[in-house]
Structure 1
């Protein structure tokens, strides 16, 4: 390698912004595409998987990359907007090589791949993977970590073999800062085998958040690969309405087994939500809004709103009800919006600030009427109240949008305003 030739560790590219020559951002790097070669020759880097607007993934050939430096990638500005499709001869470096167990050629010792580095060749805009950053000994919670070292690509063997028990620790570390929706997009584009491995490595709360952002087919596939006890734990960690939607996609015997493994109260919430017609207020609602008794104070309400696990829509208002104060509650009294909580003195009782005039939604209210209700009263969420006056839950605007959009909206590829497509993707 000539002196001064750039070398980049691939994990450092994850999420890096991609800019055109004018300095306008066109997307972010999500993976690197390489082609493995025979006789220990370093793999050729074909290009980058770039996520553009609408979470559409496209292929950016390395011949179109003019610079990889200072935490950014610069392109020629001409992009092929055709959706990226991995070919049989191609390997996704982040998705398929990290966490793989390979062997040192000299000693046969097993090592775990932590990262790989690619370098630019003297030939204009050509790159190859020349270094592998590995750790001696198997990694894991119960194993002592061994020495980490960087070796030449030719010094290891085993990349060409499919690995059945590949871990996910280093891949997850690469994407640990991603929001759940973005990590869900990463999982969606992995192979089914790799998707299962990554899902298994996530903790219950993180996996629950990610599942809520995945298409139905991916949700069912991932849940089906988990042990039933863990699947029940993950369902309990999900928002009740999302968990109920996922359970409704399962065969009846599987659904009943999982419900039996869940905590009785959570299972009761699931059964209640699934009893309502799909697309109705009852079917859309969450059973975990913020509920306060009339003798609570504004300070109590603000303390509840500060809960970082609440979505913005649920934190936008609190619901005042007579005891019991868990859904289905005693008599529903009214609602207090977040702005009112900020205006009134902390020692004020919520009973003095509650809005009792806002109409409520019966659980059988159809989706178009629910959407119209939120729009009419400029709400982020609305109370669902039964004929006895008990609060059953709250419908949030994000759940309404989820059901108003086309069923495949998470996979839709919106790319208005991007560059015109080329005739070829350069591969």
Structure 2
């Protein structure tokens, strides 16, 4: 039997099943429309189905809703969800809004919304769970919470958007970067920018790396120069270079000047290479150790949570110094091989010297062939003096091969035929445009 009342925030992430018990997707939001003399009516759910696509499921197709699962008739239109005029998403747009009590007792902030079933396919907003402003100056104090019916309150004209965005971000805590990016891109334009403004620098950087370039530029343009530079500092150097390469030369130089010197130096280096070469595709932050380092030392670096899986697949061995550009490149030790040896084994005795590194001017086609031919997820890149300058990973190559809008395409994705994913002008290491392009 269906639950007659459920709080929307508890529905977020709940699994949606068809009548046979097969998993359809996950609930991401509840869609309502306001009415003049009646409580807001639920019109459907926003459900994320396999492939990260978000679709609309009419409330008429829902046979049961509870805090743990949702059962549907199994008939779902898989067209990508598009919000219509008059529709409001509870999680994305209502949570965090300021409301005023009709009895004059003050204002409060919506923290959750309860919806109630009036019959098959008929759900409406029943109650609001709200928090009043705190009355103590103590940083640990919190306002009193209470329930209010839709008749007892009205929404303020100024919605308190910063606080609203803060509340919304709380529901995104456990999302992976790619899911966070997709969730943000589903928000209305102004709401998207408000949420971006409230996210921490590192969290926003992670999300930006998973977004199309047009969305990256839109969000970065809404930030102050200082905040934009801080976010770029937290991005992978190759992703930051791609993004700066889409901007005007003047804007790019302003941000590079505001970035941390070491981060800016890496980005300038990447911008100096043609975009369809190994130098333009690589990241400048591989794991680098000496031949005398041990398997235990290498595994300690590989297991760092913030390290991208593709970069953790191998350790590069060089002569000192051990920051790109390093001393002479010696070889590579694959993660799987390290697992076969005792912790005290020296890396120099087990490194692979047969894999020829790529040079910075190696074509993107050669990079792809090398990864495919040797079943690799990463390959080292050296300069003319055989010094290690970076590593190209499989995700860099896929980003290059796929069309610019692959993240938002609904159909099968063709391999791109163009020769360049990027549109930036290659620059010298001092930031000036490079001649010849």
Cα distance in 2 between the residues matched to 1:352 and 1:216: 43
SS of 2:192's partner is helix
CA RMSD between the two structures: 2.1
The structure 2 residue matched to 1:228, chosen from 225, 228, 232, is 225
Kept after mapping to 1: 8 A contact 2:98/2:159: no
Distance 1:159 1:12, change over 3 A: farther
Residue 156 of structure 1: which of 133, 153, 158 is its match?
Answer: 153
CA distance in 1, matches of 2:324, 2:392: 13
Match of 2:430 in 1: none
Equivalent position to 2:211, from 214, 219, 226: 214
Residue matched to 1:420: none
Structure 2 CA distance for partners of 1:46 and 1:216, relative to 1, 3 Å: same
2:81 to 80, 84, 88: 84
CA contact (8 A) 2:6 2:67 kept: no
* SS at structure 1 position matched to 2:51: helix
- Cα gap change, 1:108 to 1:366, in 2 (>3 Å): farther
Q: For residue 62 of structure 1, report the CA deviation from its aligned partner.
A: 0.5
Q: What SS does the aligned partner of 2:310 have?
A: helix
- Quote how far apart the aligned CAs of 1:171 are: 1.5
- Which one scores higher on RCO, CA 8 angstroms, separation ≥ 6? 1
Q: Deviations over 1:104-161 (max 9, x none)?
A: 121251211111110000x322000111111111799968421011111111111676
Residue from 245, 248, 251 that aligns with 2:242: 245
Give yes or no for contact 2:100–2:154 (8 Å, CA) kept in 1.
yes
Task: Name 1:8's counterpart in structure 2.
Answer: 6
Task: Tell me by how many angstroms 1:415 deviates.
Answer: 8.9
The equivalent residue for 2:429 is: none
1:218 Cα deviation from its structure 2 partner: 1.3
Quote the offset at 1:278 in angstroms: 1.3
| Separation (CA, whole Å) in 2 of partners of 1:221 and 1:176 | 23
Distance 1:33 1:56 in 2: 17
CA distance in 1, matches of 2:307, 2:138: 31
SS in 2 for 1:87: coil
Task: With the length of structure 1 as denominator, give the TM-score of the two structures.
Answer: 0.92
| 1:216-266 deviation line (CA, Å, top 9, x unaligned) | 111111112222222111111111111111111112221111111111111
Corresponding position: 1:376 with 2:373: yes
Aligned 8 A contact 1:104 1:155 in 2: yes
The residue that corresponds to 1:422 in the other structure is none
Preserved CA contact (<8 Å) 2:45 2:59: yes
Asked whether 1:128 is paired with 2:124, we answer yes
Aligned residues: 411
Contact 1:134–1:148 (CA under 8 A) maintained in structure 2: yes
CA–CA distance in 2 between the matches of 1:399 and 1:298?
27
- Bigger shift: residues 173-182 or 407-416: 407-416
Aligned partners of 1:334 and 1:354 also within 8 Å: yes
Shift of 1:175: 2.3
- Paired with 2:162 and 2:139, the residues of 1 have a C-alpha distance of 16
User: 1:382: how far off?
Assistant: 0.3
Q: How far, CA to CA, are the matches of 2:105 and 2:250 in structure 1?
A: 47
Q: Which residue does the alignment assign to 2:58?
A: 61
Shift, 1:71, TM fit = 0.9
Q: Deviations over 1:38-83 (max 9, x none)?
A: 24x2100000011112222211111100011251111001111222
Structure 2: give runs of 5+ residues left out of the alignment: 414-437
- What SS does the aligned partner of 1:127 have? strand
Q: Deviations over 1:178-224 (max 9, x none)?
A: 11100110000101211112112221111111111111111111112
When residues 137 and 15 of structure 1 are mapped into structure 2, their CA distance, relative to the original with a 3 A threshold, is same
Aligned partner of 1:21 in structure 2 is: 19
